[in-house]
């Protein structure tokens, strides 16, 4: 396995050049050309002003267009693209690093193992049934194709990705006779054996899981919903509602806006967090008092704590792995449960870029970094089952203090440049 730029586990926070891959797409409404970034979830046409929400299948599927006039049987070879924060629980600690890697997804000998820098210098396109050529199916999962994620040689009790971006990218190859040629440069890539040649030619041109485009109109009132280009949750200020689209239609998101303490200076921004109430199977952990015990927090356990529900918080936006771990832990320990309203504020709302599903997967990592008796509890993590009993999106007020944003109630800070990092993930 290779990563873009540097070995896995030592990747630059912004990749090689600090930019996302770009995708060419015609506007479904007027046909005008639109250039999207890899993190975009909203297509905003600058010509007809149409705004459409991008809904992939299981994951986004792209292809690199072949050079014009290329001769031969056009084949597309699949490569997995994996990008995000990797967390590993070993006997001693919870480690984390940023991963940006790609690797071949089909078991075909003689082909390049990675795409290298090609997707960063060439514009991609979404796969569609109209794309000419045969698409070779992926017979390796992303985890199988990219196994080396930089973990330590110690025993690993648990591993997870948070904020991950998994996509399938197809590289063009031309089959002429029994030789495969690069579909972009025209160079010889590999000689095919008869069995491999028959397998390649038996691939179907039909595709599944192509991107769907859904108008960003509020399902409740029909108003134009708001959202940045990478937003996963869209807001309707007309009927004061929030919506996400995990499938083929928008579904409503329960949300609350936390109010700042009296006397707070002007609010600079509201940052989104997921508040989750999990149910654990495999660990005796059901109340706030149980977490106090397992994390050895400096609090006296009272009957009120024993009756209080257990909530875990997670940033609903992407940040680097260290900050994600810190903010998840701090919010869960401090339990910011003050006054709240259910009306969207007029101040700036930072976009939701981390889905609830990935935040829920991070609960075990959040718990692991708080556990004090590691030898006793870490071996239980692999078999631990976590299901959400309830969840909601919370917008928390932050005030500006030089280059930092301070939580208005907790007074814990986040550097503003850390948010710019998350935009590039």
204 shares its domain with 265: no
- Please indicate, yes or no, if residue 217 is contained in any of the structural domains: no
Q: How confident is the model at residue 403 (pLDDT cuts 50, 70, 90)?
A: confident
pLDDT in the model for residue 209: 64
pLDDT in the model for residue 208: 64
- Please indicate, yes or no, if residue 301 is contained in any of the structural domains: yes
pLDDT in tens, 105-143: 998 888 899 998 888 888 999 998 888 888 988 888 887
- Please indicate, yes or no, if residue 95 is contained in any of the structural domains: yes
- Please indicate, yes or no, if residue 182 is contained in any of the structural domains: yes
**Could you give the CA distance from residue 35 to residue 27 in angstroms, rounded to a whole number?**
10
pLDDT in the model for residue 252: 97
Per-residue pLDDT, averaged over 209-224, amounts to 92
174 shares its domain with 269: no
pLDDT in the model for residue 35: 94
Per-residue pLDDT, averaged over 95-113, amounts to 88
208 shares its domain with 274: no
**Could you give the CA distance from residue 348 to residue 351 in angstroms, rounded to a whole number?**
9
Q: How confident is the model at residue 421 (pLDDT cuts 50, 70, 90)?
A: low
198 shares its domain with 259: no
- Please indicate, yes or no, if residue 246 is contained in any of the structural domains: no
Antiparallel, parallel or unpaired: β 179-182 and 188-191: antiparallel
The separation between the first and the last C-alpha atoms of the chain, rounded to the nearest angstrom, is: 20
Per-residue pLDDT, averaged over 351-378, amounts to 95
Q: In the chain, how many domains are there?
A: 2
Out of 15-24, 268-277, 318-327, 392-401, pick the least confident.
15-24
195 shares its domain with 272: no
Per-residue pLDDT, averaged over 369-381, amounts to 94
Q: Are 163 and 84 in contact (CB under 8 A)?
A: yes
Q: How confident is the model at residue 263 (pLDDT cuts 50, 70, 90)?
A: confident
- Please indicate, yes or no, if residue 244 is contained in any of the structural domains: no
290 shares its domain with 350: yes
Q: Of 212, 237, 272, which marks where a domain is finished?
A: 212
37 shares its domain with 179: yes
**Could you give the CA distance from residue 266 to residue 41 in angstroms, rounded to a whole number?**
31
261 shares its domain with 383: yes
What's the domain range around 278?
Answer: 254-423
Residue with structure tokens 């480690």? 95
Task: Dump the DSSP string for 110-126.
Answer: TS-S--TTHHHHS-EEE
- Please indicate, yes or no, if residue 231 is contained in any of the structural domains: no
Per-residue pLDDT, averaged over 225-247, amounts to 95
What's the whole-number average pLDDT of the chain?
87
- Please indicate, yes or no, if residue 50 is contained in any of the structural domains: yes
Task: Dump the DSSP string for 320-381.
Answer: -HHHHHHHHHHHHHH-----EESS--SS-BPPP-S-HHHHHHTHHHHHHHH-S-HHHHGGGG
Look at residue 6 and tell me whether its pLDDT is greater than 70: no
pLDDT in the model for residue 246: 86
80 shares its domain with 131: yes
280 shares its domain with 334: yes
């Amino acid at each position: 396995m290779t990563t873009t730029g540097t070995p896995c586990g030592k990747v630059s926070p912004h990749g090689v050049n600090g930019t996302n891959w770009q995708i060419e797409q015609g506007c479904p409404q007027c046909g005008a050309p639109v250039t999207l970034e890899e993190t975009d979830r909203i297509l905003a046409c600058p010509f007809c002003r149409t705004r459409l929400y991008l809904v992939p299948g299981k994951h986004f599927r792209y292809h690199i267009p072949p050079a014009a006039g290329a001769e031969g049987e056009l084949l597309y070879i699949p490569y997995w693209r994996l990008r995000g924060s990797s967390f590993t629980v070993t006997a001693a600690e919870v480690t984390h690093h940023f991963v940006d890697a790609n690797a071949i997804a089909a078991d075909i000998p003689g082909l390049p193992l990675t795409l290298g820098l090609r997707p960063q210098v060439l514009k991609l396109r979404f796969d569609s049934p109209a794309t000419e050529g045969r698409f070779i199916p992926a017979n390796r999962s992303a985890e199988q194709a990219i196994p080396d994620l930089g973990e330590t040689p110690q025993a690993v009790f648990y591993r997870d990705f948070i904020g991950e971006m998994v996509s399938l990218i197809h590289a063009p190859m031309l089959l002429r006779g029994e030789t495969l040629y690069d579909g972009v440069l025209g160079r010889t890539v590999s000689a095919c054996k008869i069995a491999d040649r028959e397998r390649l030619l038996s691939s179907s041109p039909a595709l599944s899981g192509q991107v769907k485009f859904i108008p960003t109109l509020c399902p409740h009132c029909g108003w134009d919903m708001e959202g940045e280009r990478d937003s996963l949750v869209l807001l309707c200020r007309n009927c004061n509602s929030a919506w996400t689209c995990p499938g083929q239609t928008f579904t409503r998101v329960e949300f609350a806006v936390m109010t700042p303490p009296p006397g707070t200076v002007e609010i600079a921004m509201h940052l989104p967090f997921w508040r989750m109430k999990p149910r654990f199977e495999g660990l005796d952990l059901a109340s706030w008092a149980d977490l106090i015990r397992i994390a050895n927090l400096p609090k006296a356990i009272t009957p009120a704590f024993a009756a209080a529900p257990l909530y875990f918080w997670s940033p609903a936006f992407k940040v680097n792995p260290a900050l994600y771990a810190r903010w998840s832990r701090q919010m869960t320990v401090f339990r910011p449960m003050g006054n709240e309203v259910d009306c969207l504020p007029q101040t700036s709302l930072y976009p939701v870029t981390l889905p609830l599903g990935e935040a829920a997967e991070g609960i075990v990592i959040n718990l692991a970094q708080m556990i004090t008796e590691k030898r006793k509890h870490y071996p239980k993590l692999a078999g631990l089952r976590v299901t959400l009993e309830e969840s909601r999106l919370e917008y928390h007020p932050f005030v500006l203090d030089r280059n930092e944003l301070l939580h208005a109630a907790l007074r814990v800070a986040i550097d503003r440049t850390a948010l710019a990092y998350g935009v590039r993930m």
